Structure 1
Amino acid sequence: MTARAGEDLELDLVVAHRRTVAQGVVELRLRDARGEPLPRWSPGAHVDLHLGDGSRRQYSLCGDPRERGTWRIAVLREDGGRGGSRWVHEHLAAGARLRAVGPRNRFVFEPAEEYLFVGGGIGITPLLPMIDAAHREQARWQLVYGGRSRATMAFAGELADRYGDRVRLVPEDELGRLDVTSVLPEPDERTLVYCCGPAGLLTALTDHGRTRGWDGADLRVERFTAAAASGPDRAFVVELARSGRRITVGAGESVLAAIRRAGVEVASSCEQGTCGTCTTRVRTGSVEHRDTVLDEQERATSMTLCVSRAAEGALVLDL
């Protein structure tokens, strides 16, 4: 996995501009509170924002990496979510200040002769700077972008106006649900596929991709939710290697919550297994990995405390 440069940087930001870009979606442009240039980032990166309701949420950077004066994010209001997006919509007006950590990148955009980008809903955001980079590099590319309706699809009109027939819009209320079987071409070593969106879209695309011969190296996805459990949860014990403390993790409790209950603080952000902020080294023990962010090499030595659990026995963590 590519190093995540700048991931420990903490910044004071100000909302420089806010606008509505689709039904239920606001775009925020953020600048450094002191007027300094913002850290460099690459397509696929996200930033963690500390929100005034006490939560910490990650949002994809969807502007131009060459622009050091501002960062751009777009936030979908999810009234059925955990509250972070509602707080953004209700409280982050122009001039508001907030803390940020990052940027981080676990959805790295790499050189290729040809690209297929597949976006679903707000999942379009990390793809925007990738599309711009591919276009500047004169690579062959196509975007397939699905959503409930044109009104809910952020940046859809701008993309169509700018890139013409390279952009295929699939509003569900007009054309039906995006059919992944019609999206993927035959596997080609010259082509990379990048996809971000709801779990159903990503699962359908990756499952179909396997039947077509695509592998994880060439078909790359960024998920908003963790992998499903393989069975019912059970209680288990974690040992904190540096202190020797043993903590019982309840059947309905995450390792992260159990450790915090014991008074040990661990940084986290999404708490859904999609960002990697709470990744911790495992000294001994077998892990049932439920994250969607760590690669196989990382899983051999680490786990995400927010969703992953012991597969059997106890775990000894490097804490």
Structure 2
Amino acid sequence: MRSYEAELVVDRREYVADGVLALTLRHPLGEPLPVWEPGAHIDLVLGPGLERQYSLCGDPADRGAWRIAVLREPDGRGGSAHVHEHLRRGDKVRVRGPRNRFPLEPSPRYRFIAGGIGITPILPMLAAAEAASAEWTLLYGGRTRASMAFTEEVRRYGDRVTLAPQDETGLLNLGSVLDGLPRDTLVYCCGPGPLLDAVRGRCPAGVLRLERFQASAPPSGNDGLSGSDGLSGGEASSGGDGAFEVVLARSGRTLTVPAGVSVLDAVRAAGVEVLYSCTEGTCGTCETDVLEGVPDHRDSVLTQEEREAGETMMICVSRCRGRRLVLDL
């Protein structure tokens, strides 16, 4: 099913922390927006080749508005700078979604861990856990207190929330929330890659749910939170970077994907229209069903179980572990 796509209006614009801009988006005619659940994100289509994903961090019950928060990244690829510099109240922006690769699963108890702008998908999860009468805590870290968005919103939950600015308390004390986890506890974490990997290293199998905002990359120094690098859903397989064939099952066409060319680029070059956005394997927009063959997963979206099942792949980055893939395209 094709996702919702519309021009929405920037109804409200406010800074909620140093370098973090919150936008409230509404339909220009007041039409209700699609239902979403905690963990969902939307795409902002900011211009040709400039599409970015942002987590919804408002109230899922409010069908009239979507709220996102955008961290200004000086070393980014231009998306956050565009939002901060060009989107003003009353402007229109094309939006797609919502999609959810980070859903809140039912559980009697949760441990939420957020680093920096990673608080955005966690915010609505707190309200949902509270509404479900689940037992939960939040450990929320950032470089400084002033850089941490929505602290006033999370303070209302009292002593279940621990705010830990790095310049005041040092690195996040992960052991305080992860050591001796009670049974039936799920851990939800979002933030910088090093934090995600440090959390994964301390969690028992099967309890961690996380979302990565950026593609995995070798660590570039201390981020003020902790850890070392790795993929969010499990370790990447190594199928090599050579050429392989892709069969498009709906048309029966066979394409060659050369070395150094992504499946997405090969498919688009052949004139096949597919949805895509980040081209880094982080957003899930280009997820495609695999009918035959074994994918070489290189994304930061799929869980280890989904990788092993091999039923879908992110065609913007993943390749083939053999000579041939048959895709539902």
Asked if these proteins are the same fold (TM beyond 0.5), I'd say yes
Change (3 A) 1:175 1:7: farther
For 2:258 and 2:17, locate their aligned partners in 1 and report how far apart those are by CA, in whole Å: 41
**Structure 1 runs of 4+ off > 6 angstroms?**
none
Residue equivalent to 1:116: 111
The aligned residue for residue 289 of structure 1 is 297
User: Within 5 A, what are the aligned runs for 1:15-30?
Assistant: 15-30=10-25
Q: TM-score, normalised by structure 1?
A: 0.88
Aligned partners of 1:187, 1:234: CA distance in 2, in Å? 44
Match of 2:58 in 1: 63
Structure 1: tracts of 5 or more residues without a match: 1-5
Give the corresponding residue for 1:236: 244
Is it true that 1:310 corresponds to 2:310 in the alignment? Answer: no
SS of match in other structure, 2:117: helix
Which of 211, 215, 235 matches 2:205?
A: 215
How far residue 246 of structure 1 moved from its aligned partner, in angstroms, is 3.6
Distance 1:252 1:79, change over 3 A: farther
Q: Percent identity?
A: 58
Choose 38-47 or 240-249, whichever is displaced more: 240-249
Give the aligned partner of residue 260 of structure 1. Answer: 268
Amino acid at match of 2:160: R
Q: Give 1:297 shift.
A: 4.8
Quickly say closer, same or farther: Cα 1:174–1:253, change in 2 above 3 A: farther
Structure 1 segment 117-132 matched on structure 2, within 5 A: 117-132=112-127
Query: 3-state DSSP class of the match of 1:51?
Result: strand
SS of residue paired to 2:16: strand
Structure 2 alignment gaps of length 5 or more? 216-230
TM-score normalised by length of structure 2: 0.86
Taking a change above 3 Å as real, the CA distance of residues 7 and 27 of structure 1, as seen in their structure-2 partners, is farther
Indicate whether 1:13 and 2:8 are aligned: yes
What is the 5 A alignment of 1:11-90?
A: 11-90=6-85
Which position in structure 2 is the counterpart of 1:193? 187
State the superposition RMSD in angstroms: 2.2
In the TM superposition, residue 130 of structure 1 has moved relative to its aligned partner by 0.8
TM superposition shift of 1:7: 6.5
Rounded to whole Å, the distance in 1 between the matches of 2:283 and 2:46 is 17
CA distance, structure 2, for counterparts of residue 24 and residue 10 of structure 1: 28
Instruction: Identify the residue that residue 163 of structure 1 maps to in structure 2.
Output: 157
Listed one character per residue, the Cα deviations across residues 225-252 of structure 1 (whole Å, up to 9, x for unaligned) are 3437555633333232334444333433
**C-alpha distance in 2 between matches for 1:156 and 1:7:** 36
Which amino acid is the alignment partner of residue 42 of structure 2? V
Match of 1:271 among 274, 279, 285: 279
What are the superposed Cα offsets for residues 89-113 of structure 1, whole Å, 9 maximum, x if unpaired? 1111111112222212221113322
- Quote the Cα distance in structure 1 between the aligned partners of 2:76 and 2:236: 20
1:224 matches 2:213: yes
